[in-house]
């Protein structure tokens, strides 16, 4: 289990990879973001994207899938108050293989809750062509290492 004390400014974590299908892109969009360029491959050709692309909110959810699997699932993760400067730079397309990266940019102990540490991060999502698709700056509350194990 990772605790706040295990993260340091400058640490960089590769979050593994996953591949997204056209069916998954359309299914997510039908539930949450049914704009035609996310649901209709034919009409999407005439959009600014030139073809079907994943919803930006599907893209953030796919990043989260990798972040949880590779890092948060074995970290004392408590909550997140939010994120800053989310940018969808290029779209996710059917059969793209995505890779995520989590870079620690700052750490501090909460003043109001000294049992909680705050991780600031820069998060990046790439495709199989090493194109940078999405970035955001994350904030996470993480448990501090129990005193007996310090």
In the complex, the residues that contact its own copies under the rule CB under 8 A are 28, 31-35, 47-49, 55-57, 60-62, 64-65, 68, 72-73, 77-89, 141
Toward its own copies, which CB reaches closer, 55 or 127?
Answer: 55
85: left (phi over 0), alpha (psi -120 to 50) or beta: left
In the bound state with its own copies, the residue whose beta carbon lies nearer, of 72 and 118, is 72
Q: How many CA atoms lie within 13 A of 98 on its CB side?
A: 28
**Nearest distance, CB of residue 115 and its own copies, angstroms:** 11
Pairing of strands 116-126, 12-19: unpaired
Q: How far is the CB of 128 from its own copies (least distance, A)?
A: 21
- Pick 10 or 118: Cβ nearer its own copies: 118
CB of 46 to its own copies, least distance (A): 12
75 Rama sector, left if φ>0, alpha if ψ -120 to 50, beta otherwise: beta
Give 66 or 104: the residue with its C-beta nearer to its own copies.
66
Half-sphere exposure of 59 (CA within 13 A, CB side): 25
Is the Cβ–Cβ distance between 71 and 87 less than 8 Å? no
Q: How far is the CB of 40 from its own copies (least distance, A)?
A: 13
């Amino acid at each position: 289990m990772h605790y706040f004390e295990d993260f340091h400014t400058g640490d960089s974590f590769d979050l593994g990879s996953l591949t997204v299908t056209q069916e998954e892109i359309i299914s997510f969009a039908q539930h949450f973001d049914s704009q035609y360029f996310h649901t209709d491959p034919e009409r999407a050709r005439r959009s600014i994207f030139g073809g079907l692309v994943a919803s930006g909110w599907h893209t953030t959810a796919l990043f989260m899938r990798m972040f949880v699997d590779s890092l948060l699932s074995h970290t004392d993760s408590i909550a997140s108050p939010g994120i800053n400067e989310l940018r969808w730079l290029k779209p996710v397309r059917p059969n793209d293989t995505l890779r995520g990266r989590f870079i620690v940019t700052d750490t501090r102990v909460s003043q109001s809750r000294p049992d909680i540490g705050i991780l600031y991060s820069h998060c990046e999502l790439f495709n199989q062509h090493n194109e940078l698709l999405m970035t955001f700056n994350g904030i996470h509350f993480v448990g501090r290492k129990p005193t007996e194990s310090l």
